[in-house]
């Protein structure tokens, strides 16, 4: 499947927001968004001053969400259709679906330094859901699911867990650090999602 293979720090600069795509680097002084903070390209500073159209704002909101969660265009569109069919507010449903992806849960639990790394770990069969190995990063967890590390001796996962020990666990999951497991106590509500996004702009874009 196609994936963006360019410099991911350019994506953060393009969205003018930290998307935490680079793991450790995002939390250090080396973060490109913190050091430069302008749109990439020769005329980046001028673009920062330009007035953005309504369509431009909607497009940026969609692109930001796609890049934050590491989702491609076609899959993002499918998630929007799923969100529309559910009861409730479409924008909040969309964010709830994105947060429920297994790779995001692994990242949120602190078992990986970035969602990209979490995606690779899931693909390499390092995690179980309710006792069964799941190697599909887009797998959507449900309330009551328990996610465990297949082998607690994995040096990469142990290193990430130690580095992220002080990072707060989202309110919608409970974590057992010793057993390296998390349980989904409920699906996330909008107030549980700390992503700075105006999801109604995405809804407006797809509703045209």
Query: pLDDT tens across 67-79, in order?
Result: 899 999 999 999 9
Sequence-ordered list of residues with C-beta below 8 angstroms from that of 93, at least 6 positions apart, any chain: 82, 83, 84, 86
pLDDT of residue 15: 56
**Using one digit for the tens of pLDDT, what is the confidence trace for 144-191?**
999 999 988 889 999 999 999 888 999 999 999 889 999 999 999 999
How far does CA 9 lie from the centroid of its chain? 15
pLDDT of residue 1: 41
Rounded CA-CA distance 77/82 in Å is: 9
Cβ proximity of 11 and 22 under 8 Å: no
Torsion on CA atoms 108, 3, 92, 39, rounded to nearest 10: 90
Q: At residue 37, does pLDDT exceed 60?
A: no
Counting residues of the chain whose pLDDT is more than 90, the rounded percentage is 61
Q: At residue 118, does pLDDT exceed 80?
A: yes
Q: At residue 47, does pLDDT exceed 90?
A: no
Q: Residue 92 to residues 62, 86, 199: CA-CA distances in angstroms?
A: 14, 10, 7
Q: Specify the pairing of strand 127-129 against strand 173-176.
A: unpaired
pLDDT of residue 182: 96
pLDDT of residue 159: 92
Average pLDDT, the chain: 85
Q: What is the average pLDDT across 107-118?
A: 93
pLDDT of residue 9: 55
pTM: 0.79
DSSP run (H or E) holding 90: helix 90-99
Sequence-ordered list of residues with C-beta below 8 angstroms from that of 197, at least 6 positions apart, any chain: 61, 64, 65, 68, 95
pLDDT of residue 96: 97
């Amino acid at each position: 499947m196609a994936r963006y293979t360019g410099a991911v720090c350019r994506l953060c600069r393009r969205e003018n927001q930290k998307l935490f795509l680079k793991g450790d680097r995002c939390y250090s002084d080396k973060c490109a968004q913190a050091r430069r903070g302008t749109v990439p390209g020769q005329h980046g500073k001028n673009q920062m001053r330009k007035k953005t159209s309504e369509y431009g704002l909607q497009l940026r909101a969609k692109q930001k969400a796609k890049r934050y969660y590491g989702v491609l265009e076609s899959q993002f569109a499918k998630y929007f259709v799923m969100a529309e069919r559910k009861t409730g507010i479409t924008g909040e449903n969309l964010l709830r679906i994105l947060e429920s992806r297994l790779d995001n849960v692994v990242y949120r639990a602190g078992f990986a330094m970035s969602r990209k790394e979490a995606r690779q770990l899931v693909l390499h069969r390092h995690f179980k859901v309710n006792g069964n190995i799941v190697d599909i990063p887009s797998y959507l967890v449900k309330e009551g699911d328990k996610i465990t590390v297949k082998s607690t001796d994995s040096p990469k996962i142990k290193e990430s867990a130690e580095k992220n020990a002080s990072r707060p666990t989202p309110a919608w999951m409970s974590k057992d650090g010793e057993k390296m497991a998390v349980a989904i106590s409920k699906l996330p509500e909008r107030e549980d999602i700390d992503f700075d996004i105006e999801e109604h702009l995405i809804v407006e874009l797809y509703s045209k």
